[in-house]
Structure 1
Amino acid sequence: MKRKRTANALWLSIGTGLTVLLLGAAATRLWPQASSNSAQNPTGEETLAIPETPQSAVFSLATQPPQQRAAQLQLLAQGKRSDDQKRARFLLASDLIQQGQAAAAVPFLEKLDKDYSTLAAYALKRRAQAHAATGETEQETEAWKELANRFAKKPASVEALYELGKADPSYWQTAIARFPAHPRSLEIAQTLLKQDPKQPELLLQIARYGHYLPEVGAYLDRLTKDYADTLEPEDWEAIAFLNWEKQRYGEAGKAYAKAPRTPLNAYREGRGAQLAGRRDTAVTAYNKVVAEFPDSPEAPTSLLRMAQLGRDRAAKLTYLDQVISQYPDRAGDALLEKYKLVKPDAAQATLTAQVAQMLLESHSKTDAAAELRWMLAEEKAAQGDIQGAWTLARQVAQENPDSPLAAEAAFWVGKWAQRLGQAQEASQAYEYVLSRYPESYYAWRSATMLGWDVGDFTTVRQKLPPIALPAMHPMPLAGSDTLKELYQLGQYQDAWALWQTEFTNRQSPTVEEQFTDGLIRLGVGDNLEGIFQISSLVRRTEPTEQAQVQALRQQGDYWRSLFPLQFAEPIQQWSQTMRLNPLLVTALIRQESRFERKIVSSAGAKGLMQLMPGTASWVASKLNQPQYDLENPDDNIKLGTWYLNYTHETYSDNSLFAVASYNAGPGAIAQWIERFGYSDPDLFVEQIPYPETKGYVEAVFSNYWNYLRLYNPDVSAKLAQLSASHRAIAESLP
């Protein structure tokens, strides 16, 4: 319910007919029925089978710290021969090597490469590592050679080729030739480039497979600068894609111009130029998309982009009208933009009304129609017409239940119903939000309005909710049996290295591949990209893929992967010391850094809790701690929780103000309180004048709620019960 400038006599200018359309539309149900738990494609067939993790005592132990699981692994490893006995031997040996007890690991590895077919190559790798750690050079070399020869067609052999290549460089060339995408092969390529930079084939290898290398941009620049004349269109496409992934959009756009001519490549040429501030180049590229690929989805998107870039209103309207007339699937988006363009001009009141009517009548189910309805609802509320705002918000929930605005609209149906004295309608609205949009910020606000014990803005700090962790790791949906076994055993680095060779479809991955890639990245601490890969699955537009994503979103593993409990020990320790709810701290860290301990913002904020150096220095002085490292999780969380405690104390433990202050600074919050008052916390959030801070507050508390609903047994059970009862209620409504 953001406050916006309202148009004078809006409804008079729109006319009676549209007023009836907006305010008098009858609905067959008070609330639309919530989605079922089973996603299907248009033919009614299941589109994505979520595999169950095999029952295994060792898989359960793999989620525990090495010291805690050691005794049980010992018992299993010494027991009768079985799948779990092999797994226990492998995991125990891996733990012992990592703990510096390699000699104790060797007996568990004896003949394991013969017994454990799924991880045979990795059993040999562990044996070589154990011998290396104990200084048994001959046995180490023998094990590496056996791995290289017996498993020459397996990616794990690259580890042996890498080690053997330190003495005989021919092994390195073999590694690059057989498995160019393996991380060790890329490490070899980087080493060879340092010895001789003029090797374009190695630069191309990095361009195709080095997406995770922090310095990959420098390699791409060297390749395009020194060897542009030798590159083929497919090479440019690889270079463009990697630049795009690294958000080097200007360079990506230039490379896409030389890539194979496809609608997507042509569009990204223009989009890259637009994001780099090259307007004329972007417009030229977008025009080519429309001319060359008029039937592609990228054509109307290009027209909408050109409307954004138009130099005057007439030019913008020309592009928008072309979308409206030629691309009915995107007409709603164009009509909404047209509405926003002409509405400020009082002389265009008739046109404004016509555009609104066309959008709401002909494209009523689109997200654009939802946005218009919500804009009008906000204006009604600002004018004091709560009944009108309530009716429009309810239409968003009824007509556009999948819109990004639907959860917010449904919540405000409840708030405005309370204002109108409709208590039963308010409760139904809040229950609907919890049932239909359980992951949303507005689900948490609905839970608080219903009196659930989940913490409100004024009480959430003191909450200490109990947490229950899942017994096993989630199951990757793609990849080999070897990959899945490694992942279930918590051997994340090996799984990640293997996945780099198996994931050959990076530019257009399947749903299963993208979810798996996210899991694998999370396993090795690439949290920013891992969370992004999983969260961006909802952007899929193809119907079958949308159904697959919907099926995946019904799984707890999907949500727990989006909301991982990283750095749990230092968070728990310092939250307790600073008297803070550890889930609130976790939620803030997820928003600030996605758990990337070395991340640095454009403003210079550092580490997990994104502390500015000046703030960190001030906090350290208060803690009498002259030495600290903001990349060290313990130091960063200690200083960050002290500061979060300080913002809480500044505002009498009001977590809304404390969290907003953490983002915008205490001075801004004080001004907003004086300006807006605090009679209604939800209204206060909507009135926050900094869009970044408003979004930040909602994101942090949305994170908190998701951690609570995913890991707190009481809240999880209550939500499940509500969802089951709400479906029955919805079906019984007239």
Structure 2
Amino acid sequence: MLKQRKTQISLAVGAGLLALVAGATLSVPQLTSLLGKLMVNIQPQEQSSQNQGSQSAPSVLPLASLPAAQREAQLEAIASSNQSIERNRARYLLASDLIDSKQGKKALKLLEGLESDYPVMAPYIALKRAQAYELAGDTQAQTTRQNLVKQYPDSPAAAEALYVLGKKNPKYWDSAIASFPSHPRTVEIVRTRLSKNPNQPQLLLMLVKYAGKEPGIFAVQDRLVTLDAAAKKQGTTLLKPEDWEAIAFNYWENRSYEKASIAYARAPQTARNAYRAARGLQLSGKTPQARIAYSSLISKFPDAEETGLGLRRLAELVKPLEALPYLDRVISNFPDEAGEALLAKSKILEQLGSSQSASDARQLMLTKYASSDIAAEYRWKVAQQQAQLGDFREAWKWAQPITINNPDNILAPRAGFWVGKWATKLGKQQEAKAAFEHVLAKYPQSYYAWRSAVLLGWDVGDFTTVRQLSPQVVRPIEHPVLPAGSEKLKELYQLGQHRDAWMLWQAEFQNRMQPTVAEQFTEGIMQLGLGNYLKGISYISTLEDRETPAELEEYKAFRQQPVYWHSLYPFPYLEIIESWAQQRQLNPLLVTALIRQESRFESKIRSVAGAVGLMQVMPGTGKWVAEKIGIKQFNTENPNDNVKLGTWFLDFTHKEYNNNSLLAVASYNAGPGNVSKWLKQKGSIDPDEFVEEIPFDETKGYVRQVFGNYWNYLRLYNPEVSKLVEKHSGVQILR
């Protein structure tokens, strides 16, 4: 299935597209045929009356991901074709490329009359025309921007024009603030005005609401709170309850819990806000105040979902005997929290010497609330204890119900895999095979799906063979259709106009504190388009934290779509990774997997310990490696230098352990000394048991994450593995 390493690593978007990327000249018919075979089958969103003849026209969208120089000839051919949506797209994209390369006059020719043919993009065509005039040194740039503002006053494209016009006439900036408060250009205007006069509460509040995740927001909020306190002394107030909620949200998201608690206490009195006010105090170590706040929550919102959790938290802050009535109230009235409350009650009863009552409470948790997360966690803890004692039959009995009762719990794939491993030890080969197939079917994205695939005999690379593999990788070549936003936004994004699309999205995206699933997914995709991979992956991965049934159903629907997984596992820095992986004789997907875990592809990120860049190279390690390979000057924030050093060290750790990638990856995280010590302590041990028994929790999680990443890149982008996984799970990933 997966070929052993050859001289040339096969890591590209199919052989045909390799030729295209390399700059080979293809005729329009050849290009159409090629893209028809490779492109993701996503229909364009924009279908206007001008779409006549587009069925036979080659698609522009697959070209949107290519560099300008490599798509120029193909776009020119499409732009010269008969009238169609594709012709209009080609003209717009070519004009944008020309503007980026400072060729304003050429761009103007392509933009001439395009609004009438391409009405959905009319405001942005006008914006491009103004930019082209400016590059050409034509005074019509200002008139064009003024006309844009008059003709499209409600379009966020007008905010871009207002920003430029306002540099000479402040009234235009006033209009931007009034009409487009969340647009990034308006945020720039606000920051500029605050730099001259920081004591402007309304402008500070705009930053709180629309730039809450940007650096420096804490200082803005602190100043706003200070100004409000000063106003109160004068008998007035600057902030409304909803303003305090925005302030509280930002503090909470940035884990400044004490300040968040104070702000939530002044926000609108909802159960959620009351709970966070109390929880913030608890997390800040202010126990007496937290007890009072939880009591207030319980009194004001006796039936709210948050109250069940509040009662459990309150039980944590009082003496054992005082806690029991709170826990009993949870058990009686809040079934979603009852399992946790029963386990907490059992622990208190044990402390009080009531062993039988404690046992009864645990049994009730395991039967009546078998589907609770706490029941799964308790079962898994006991299963592990039994396995360590060598009683694999008992371990199997404790773990097996997790796969049935708790299918959505994070422990389910792990339990399912070990049910299979323990069944193997008990000589139950058919049961083991069924367990591994169950993990692959239900949890194809998990690390344990990879381990299951290995034990089922799939040719996907094991710990001792994964380095030598050279997987074929086929990537989708079109931008996906965004799940939220206007048709203009979706069109801009599919054309690869990431900056313009993000600007527009910021103007459209108003529901920032409680976004819908589709909005949060769109925000994640937008961030990925900008190259903010840490933010983008975080936005998308935290969709799983949704709690309401409707949101969970929507989230599960997104998980069935290829775009969800491709967004979670992107391929930036492909050429650099491929080049250095080839030179070091490393599986490029393993390198990509490690980089995703180390840095989320953020080239300038720094850890608390001082590690830098894509592969999180420590300064001392980087200097040592540089001396080994004869480099005198390097910059670990430079992606090429970082991957050059990091892959050398990964090659080194592989050589230290006879090309065992499990030990090499663990060593990359914990250091060769620690791994050698663990090997001496454990001796000859099953690799899966070795992973479970790694004494550093960080390294244990790191190993699972890196190989889980490797597996996901393999199952998402390798056609053969993708088909096998699809056969077991029924979910189509590569198409």
Please report the TM-score for the alignment, with normalisation by the length of structure 2.
0.88
Residue matched to 2:339:
332
Residue matched to 2:567:
561
Residue matched to 1:551:
557
Within 5 Å, give how 1:311-350 maps onto structure 2.
312-339=319-346, 347-350=353-356
Aligned partners of 1:273, 1:618: CA distance in 2, in Å? 47
Q: Which runs of 5+ in 2 are unaligned?
A: 1-40, 46-54, 233-237
Shift of 1:410: 0.8
Q: Does 1:646 align with 2:648?
A: no
Moved more, 625-634 or 328-337: 625-634
Moved more, 564-573 or 102-111: 102-111
Residue matched to 2:303:
295
Residues 446-505 of structure 1, C-alpha deviation per residue, up to 9 Å, x if partnerless? 011111111111111122111111131121111100000011111111111111111111
Aligned partners of 2:540, 2:616: CA distance in 1, in Å? 23
Within 5 Å, give how 1:159-198 maps onto structure 2.
159-198=160-199
Aligned partners of 2:110, 2:477: CA distance in 1, in Å? 25
- Residue 60 of structure 2 aligns to a residue in which SS? helix
Q: Does 1:605 align with 2:638?
A: no
- Aligned mate of 2:255, from 225, 247, 260: 247
Within 5 Å, give how 1:92-241 maps onto structure 2.
92-134=94-136, 136-228=137-229, 229=232, 230-241=238-249
- Contact 1:51/1:477 (8 A) holds in 2: no
Aligned partners of 1:615, 1:319: CA distance in 2, in Å? 53
Residue matched to 1:622:
628
- Contact 2:331/2:342 (8 A) holds in 1: yes
Partner amino acid for 2:709?
N
Moved more, 419-428 or 284-293: 284-293
- Residue 640 of structure 1 aligns to a residue in which SS? helix
Residues 215-255 of structure 1, C-alpha deviation per residue, up to 9 Å, x if partnerless? 22221121112234421111111111122233333322221
Shift of 1:137: 4.1
Residue matched to 1:61:
63
Aligned partners of 1:315, 1:674: CA distance in 2, in Å? 49
Residues 12-36 of structure 1, C-alpha deviation per residue, up to 9 Å, x if partnerless? xxxxxxxxxxxxxxxxxxxxxxxxx
Aligned partners of 2:465, 2:131: CA distance in 1, in Å? 52
- Contact 1:677/1:684 (8 A) holds in 2: no
Moved more, 312-321 or 284-293: 312-321
Partner amino acid for 2:342?
L
- Aligned mate of 1:696, from 682, 699, 702: 702
Residues 373-419 of structure 1, C-alpha deviation per residue, up to 9 Å, x if partnerless? 21221121112111111122222112222222111111011101110
| CA pair 348-582 structure 1, distance change in 2 beyond 3 A | farther
Aligned partners of 1:570, 1:318: CA distance in 2, in Å? 61
| CA pair 66-282 structure 1, distance change in 2 beyond 3 A | farther
Moved more, 322-331 or 355-364: 322-331
Partner amino acid for 1:240?
A
Aligned partners of 1:234, 1:255: CA distance in 2, in Å? 10
Moved more, 142-151 or 154-163: 142-151
Within 5 Å, give how 1:444-593 maps onto structure 2.
444-593=450-599
- Contact 2:305/2:334 (8 A) holds in 1: no
Aligned partners of 1:610, 1:578: CA distance in 2, in Å? 18
Aligned partners of 2:105, 2:649: CA distance in 1, in Å? 46
Aligned partners of 2:691, 2:302: CA distance in 1, in Å? 43
Q: Does 1:395 align with 2:396?
A: no
Please report the TM-score for the alignment, with normalisation by the length of structure 1.
0.88
Aligned partners of 2:692, 2:635: CA distance in 1, in Å? 37
Residue matched to 1:17:
none
- Contact 1:411/1:429 (8 A) holds in 2: yes
Shift of 1:722: 2.4
Q: Does 1:636 align with 2:642?
A: yes
- Aligned mate of 1:305, from 313, 328, 332: 313
- Residue 298 of structure 2 aligns to a residue in which SS? helix
- Contact 1:181/1:209 (8 A) holds in 2: yes
Moved more, 53-62 or 641-650: 53-62
Shift of 1:507: 1.7
Give the count of matched residue pairs. 673
- Contact 1:465/1:712 (8 A) holds in 2: yes
| CA pair 418-218 structure 1, distance change in 2 beyond 3 A | same
Shift of 1:341: 5.7
Moved more, 490-499 or 623-632: 623-632
- Aligned mate of 1:674, from 663, 669, 680: 680
Residue matched to 1:431:
437
Q: Does 1:416 align with 2:422?
A: yes
Partner amino acid for 1:681?
P
- Residue 227 of structure 1 aligns to a residue in which SS? helix
Identity fraction in percent: 51
Q: Does 1:274 align with 2:275?
A: no
Aligned partners of 1:619, 1:534: CA distance in 2, in Å? 35
Partner amino acid for 1:201?
Q
- Aligned mate of 1:354, from 347, 360, 365: 360
| CA pair 444-624 structure 1, distance change in 2 beyond 3 A | same
Q: Does 1:286 align with 2:294?
A: yes
Shift of 1:140: 2.1
Residue matched to 2:84:
82
- Contact 2:177/2:186 (8 A) holds in 1: yes
Residues 149-190 of structure 1, C-alpha deviation per residue, up to 9 Å, x if partnerless? 221211111111111111112111111111010000000110
Residue matched to 2:4:
none
Aligned partners of 1:76, 1:169: CA distance in 2, in Å? 43
| CA pair 178-678 structure 1, distance change in 2 beyond 3 A | farther
Aligned partners of 1:143, 1:724: CA distance in 2, in Å? 53
